[in-house]
Structure 1
Amino acid sequence: MKEKQGHIPVLMDEVLHYLAIQPNQVYVDATLGGGGHTRAILEKEPTCKVIGFDWDVSVIESTGVQLREEFPDRFFPVWGNFSKIAHLVKKAGFSLVHGVLADFGTSQIQIGNTPGLSVYKDTFLDMRLSAAHFKTTAYDVVNTFTENKLADIFYTYGEERYGRKIAKAIVEQRVKKRIKTTFELAELVKEVVPPSKRKIHPATKVFQALRIFVNKELESIESFLKNVPQVLDNDGRLVCISFHSLE
């Protein structure tokens, strides 16, 4: 199934299989995005309901509104981070749910809508998936953190083996001129990191590390997993999609 925003939801058959959708039950799509997974759940079982979270308000205003119009009594969009799942489920008017789905990957919609995320698009180094939730931008990190702290971020969150060389180059460059855009950072990293045999952009891991750090992604996942039992029925199912070793 293809989403109307052009993003193809991953592992659709597996998601539906492991959630084991049943009549008259309530499910949570903790990462609504383009709504592909939610739509599939709603279409598979015409009596079930879905609560959809997203911390990108534009997703709630687009995908959320669209699905709400199509499934007025069965879909409930809620703006917020899935780490607060118990609060968000209650906000939607429910106490317990029978299944929870979370796709921890960053969607193409997020990459396209968020300044600073794409290494191929020249924008301000922001990287915050939600400006309402986070104050520190990637620009702040790159231009104010110490060399050691930057190196730690690149290694811990990006598994970047050249992290210390990159951090040193960043600190040397920002003395002359602050690094403001994605292209400025990407070009700087490109000068330090040898070309990858996997043909990915040399700055990919650095951008990943900054995105994870700025958005506190691992902390959010940890909080989410701790809080899920508060709302998941005893026989309920939790399905998580992850392609990243850190997750």
Structure 2
Amino acid sequence: MDYPHISVLKEEVLESFKPMQIHRFIDGTLGAGGHAEAILKSHPEIEQLVGIDRDQSALKIASARLMPFSGKTRFLHAQFSNALGALLKEGEGVYDGILLDLGVSSMQLDEEERGFSFREEGPLDMRMDKSNPLTAGIIVNTYPEEELGWIFREWGEEKMWRKAAQAIVKARLQSPLNTTKELADLMQESIRSRKPQIHAATLVFQALRIAVNDELKAIDEALPIALKLLKKGGRLAVISFHSLEDRIVKRFFQKESLDKESTSGIGGLFIDREPSLKTLTRKPLEATDREVADNPRSRSAKLRVAEKL
């Protein structure tokens, strides 16, 4: 059976966990289950794999895909930071591996009614979890210009954030912006892309998606919980798709790998500490040319891996 989502960096993920005996594993962003299926096939010793996703449609697809492993799988419908917190209450230091594949999936991008893509006509939605009351349409049509600008600058890293916000506020005085095409066309008219091959709406859509789903906060909260869930020698692998996500992961790995900790005292004093992680990827792993040719959406993917000490 063909599945609507191609798992990025799958071989690199498998290689990251290859030397390990894995008995308990968490896929914190299950999607269509491609990574989970590959891990289960490569590690027949797995006793339990917990698959987490906030998208009920994804969980339905993944559970069908992983039916051959039904005795080993458990599925949780929740944002991954919340689900990891719930698992922590069940026990600390009990998992051998954790994978987080951040960002929006191909399935969500390709479903016009989800409103994630500026290339498809759909409602301004962008919710990964449909029970979330906040949509991109609410943000675009009700948030003040100053707040819109902040979202585009901070979460989209859009250089022309001010013009984007002004254009939206001016347009919505005439009529609400209801569809992805309306917003994409407005951005095309109002702001210039930094690179000609990139659509002018790209970073605005990224910022709105992050705002709707509170994505960066979830990453910040999830990483320290994931560390606590791992056994000593367990590994944490994180795939990110843009600089904001990757920066959070990189800084967390760096901080937890240090044997010194700065104090709040004057004079830049440091105290000794035991590092809790060993970073296994000096530079993030990226998709090969072949993978990018087969799946262009893998172009921006970066994989970082660390081992708990």
Give your verdict on TM over 0.5: yes
Matches within 5 A, 1:150-169: 150-169=148-167
Distance in 1 separating the partners of 2:86 and 2:3: 25
Number of the residue aligned with 1:37: 35
Distance in 2 separating the partners of 1:51 and 1:21: 20
Instruction: Give the structure with higher Rg (CA).
Output: 2
Aligned match for 1:205, one of 203, 206, 210: 203
The SS at the match of 1:161 is coil
The SS at the match of 1:233 is strand
CA RMSD of aligned residues (A): 2.0
Distance in 2 separating the partners of 1:20 and 1:82: 24
| Number of aligned positions between the proteins | 242
Distance in 2 separating the partners of 1:85 and 1:218: 16
Aligned match for 2:87, one of 86, 89, 93: 89
The SS at the match of 1:246 is helix
CA drift at 1:224: 0.6
> After the TM superposition, which of the residue ranges 147-156 and 7-16 deviates more from structure 2?
7-16
Distance in 2 separating the partners of 1:181 and 1:242: 27
The letter for the 1-side match of 2:30 is: L
For CA contacts below 8 A with separation 6 or more, give which structure has more relative contact order: 1
Number of the residue aligned with 1:53: 52
4+ runs of 1 displaced by more than 4 Å? none
> After the TM superposition, which of the residue ranges 228-237 and 28-37 deviates more from structure 2?
228-237
CA drift at 1:12: 1.6
Contact 2:27 2:99 in 1 (8 A): yes
The letter for the 2-side match of 1:187 is: D
CA drift at 1:47: 1.9
Contact 1:122 1:183 in 2 (8 A): yes
Matches within 5 A, 1:1-247: 4-20=2-18, 22-23=20-21, 25-48=23-46, 49-67=48-66, 69-89=67-87, 96-113=94-111, 115-132=114-131, 134-247=132-245
Distance 1:27 1:198, change over 3 A: farther
TM-score w.r.t. structure 2 length? Answer: 0.73
Contact 2:108 2:114 in 1 (8 A): no
Contact 1:78 1:88 in 2 (8 A): no
Identical counterparts, % of pairs: 39
The SS at the match of 2:244 is coil
